[in-house]
Amino acid sequence: MFNNLGTTIMATFFGEVLSVYSRAVEEDDDELDENEEDEQIRRELEEKREVHLHWSPEVSESLKSGNKLQCSNFVLAVGQNASSFLSVHILSTANWDTIGRASAWNERSRAVTGQSCEESACVFYRHKDNPTVLICQVSCYVAEDQLFQWTEKVFDCLQHRELNVTVLSDTSVADYKTADYLGGSSAPFLRSLHTSAFGDQPVCQSLEQPNIVTGLPAAVLNHCQVHRIAAVVYQCYSDVIGPDSVTMETYKPVLTKLGRSIQLDLSPSTDALRKFVRTTDLQSNLYI
Amino acid sequence: MRTMMCSRLDEEQSGHRTHPHLLLSTIFFFFSPDGHLFQVEYAQEAVKKGSTAVGIRGKDIVVLGVEKKSVAKLQEERTVRKICALDEHVCMAFAGLTADARIVINRARVECQSHRLTVEDPVTVEYITRYIATLKQRYTQSNGRRPFGISALIVGFDYDGTPRLYQTDPSGTYHAWKANAIGRSAKTVREFLEKNYTEEAIAGDNEAIKLAIKALLEVVQSGGKNIELAVIRRNQPLKILESKEIETLVTEIEKEKEEEAEKKKQKKST
């Protein structure tokens, strides 16, 4: 079978499903001339999909006057478990100011035009006592065409000198490719990828080939590599879809590295945990 | 077989885009080139989605402990049970797909009574475990049927008074155990049991029950409130402990832990 990207899905006799690239790509001849209406629609769509950064007044003032945000540590959490982990272990110490948020509308955003709803925005926090430490939680979906825009806009506001970037990212263990059968007993686990400017030791082993990092963490890592910023991505492979305390615990070793500059809550209360670990199977009686 | 495979492929090529796993699911009863039965292995993953259950075989008692599933506000708690009696002297705890468990339990219960009527003896724990395991295995070799997505811990006393604990899994294997755990954090609980299951630890009934609670407390998030325990003592019917009793035991355990910690501190200082 073919899909419109020119790849086919092939099944072997034993049931392995392989994705192979087909050279029989259809040539489209009829879209050479775009009329004005099409252009206008495309422009409107591009505007709608633009990434907007909304900073707090004092931050916008300082940015306008040409001073970038002083930053020594930037921690980015992409995904529900990564964000919840930061909320429970770091943001719960209440020494953080919300200094801004980013909004990126795409086909997966909820149909709320105008104001972006609280839950799905990307939020930036700054430490009160140590204002060079910034945290960003991204729990919404950033589309492929918005990834580099997001990265460029955010990093344009940060000063690059001696900047250390740590990215925590959730992904499914179903995407992990390995020659040996995992058996699921090892999930969740961490793998890391870092830029050449990253001088420290990552807390876990490197991501093996042919696995790749995609999405926002990849865009950030790419940007940091190009601009020679020390950055590391910790990818957590988990077999659970929603927020889950076991998956969140997997990020704990990263805390030891961060703990040097940030005050942490190493043993959060069960109430704090419960707030973020929404038991996704409350209404679902499928498993017991 | 070959024509069935080809016609299935044709259907998928001519029509719309199909989910790649659909193809796998029509031929699950084949081995993969490296000897895996993927549907069975995936069923074992389904078991890991269920909450933890632990079983302990003592000298005069068998204990089953489970992490209670959180119940929705309007749901009757009594109908969400992970521990079920199969007969007066045998009971079972399971982890995995609720509906599959219901089917297996019903069949096992009927078999227990059928055995009593036919042979005029209650089933041995091994017999009913073998029956359940055989049932599960049949579904791993059938055309068009998927394996049962449950693992079970079956406990009870045989006619001669021997306590038994068996575990079955979706592949249809069963083994006898001194103590075991299934479900979500089974690995952690099993490691705890390997360290702490000693002759001392199961010397008395109370100790065996406390061992089960301690094992569950390793992985249960909110302590004693989310634990359900069932015990069978020799020649006595299944008893499900009340939450008050469990709370008392949890308090005792915590006190013991504190006393241990104090002793260690004192040892260090002297």
Does residue A210 have a cis peptide bond before it, meaning omega lies within 30 degrees of 0? yes
**Interchain contact, A239 vs B48, CB within 8 Å:** yes
Q: What ipTM describes this predicted complex?
A: 0.76
DSSP state of B51: P
pTM exceeds 0.90, yes or no = no
Residue A81: CATH number of its domain: 3.40.50.10900
| Position A183 in a domain | yes
**Interchain contact, A246 vs B36, CB within 8 Å:** no
Nearest CA in chain A to B188: A185
Q: Which residues pair with A166 in a beta bridge?
A: A75, A232
Instruction: Report how far residue B58's alpha carbon sits from residue B51's, in angstroms, rounded to the nearest whole number.
Output: 23
pLDDT band at B5 (very low <50, low <70, confident <90, very high): very low
Residue A180: what pLDDT? 75
Does residue A172 sit at the B interface (CB-CB below 8 Å)? Answer: no
Nearest CA in chain B to A3: B17
- The answer to whether the beta carbons of residues B232 and B91 sit under 8 Å apart is yes
Q: B205-217 vs B243-269: helix axis angle to the nearest 10? A: 80
Where do the domains of chain B lie, and which CATH numbers do they carry?
38-69+81-260 (3.60.20.10)
User: What sign does the dihedral A208-A210-A211-A215 (CA atoms) show?
Assistant: positive
Instruction: Report how far residue A170's alpha carbon sits from residue A237's, in angstroms, rounded to the nearest whole number.
Output: 6
**Interchain contact, B45 vs A13, CB within 8 Å:** no
**Interchain contact, A288 vs B69, CB within 8 Å:** yes
Instruction: Please name the member of B24, B82, B222 whose beta carbon is closest to the beta carbon of A17.
Output: B24
**Interchain contact, A274 vs B18, CB within 8 Å:** no
User: What sign does the dihedral A218-A222-A223-A229 (CA atoms) show?
Assistant: positive
Residue B27: what pLDDT? 54
Question: Mean pLDDT across the stretch B137-145?
Answer: 87
- Structural domain boundaries enclosing A209: 72-281
Does residue A1 sit at the B interface (CB-CB below 8 Å)? Answer: yes
Query: Out of A209-223, A266-280, B107-121, B166-180, which region has the weakest mean confidence (pLDDT)?
Result: A266-280
Nearest CA in chain B to A183: B41
**Interchain contact, A287 vs B33, CB within 8 Å:** no
% of chain B residues with pLDDT over 90: 67
Q: Look at the block and give the residue holding tokens 């005029």.
A: B120
**Interchain contact, B17 vs A15, CB within 8 Å:** no
Instruction: Please name the member of B13, B30, B72 whose beta carbon is closest to the beta carbon of A1.
Output: B13
Residue A266 CA neighbour count, 13 Å, CB half = 8
Instruction: Report how far residue A183's alpha carbon sits from residue B45's, in angstroms, rounded to the nearest whole number.
Output: 8
Residue B29: what pLDDT? 62
**How many domains are there within chain A?**
1
Query: Helix, strand, or coil here: B40?
Result: helix
Distance of CA A122 to the CA centre of its chain: 10
Q: Report CA-CA distances (Å) from B113 to A163, A224, B86, B107, B108.
A: 72, 69, 9, 10, 9
Distance from CA of A243 to the nearest CA of B (A): 14
Q: A215-226 vs A144-156: helix axis angle to the nearest 10? A: 50
**pLDDT per residue as tens, chain A (288 positions):** 444 455 566 777 777 777 777 677 666 655 556 688 888 888 888 888 888 888 889 888 888 888 888 888 899 999 888 988 888 888 877 788 889 888 888 887 765 544 444 444 789 999 888 888 899 999 888 888 899 999 999 999 998 888 999 999 999 888 888 877 666 557 788 999 999 999 888 999 999 988 999 999 999 999 999 999 999 999 999 877 777 777 888 888 887 777 666 666 666 666 666 666 655 545 577 888
Does residue A188 have a cis peptide bond before it, meaning omega lies within 30 degrees of 0? yes
Residue A93 burial (CB count, 10 A) = 14
**Interchain contact, A184 vs B45, CB within 8 Å:** yes
Tokens read off for B41 = 């292995």
Residues of chain B contacting residue A288, judged by C-beta atoms under 8 Å apart: 50-51, 69, 80, 82, 94-98, 101
| Position A287 in a domain | no
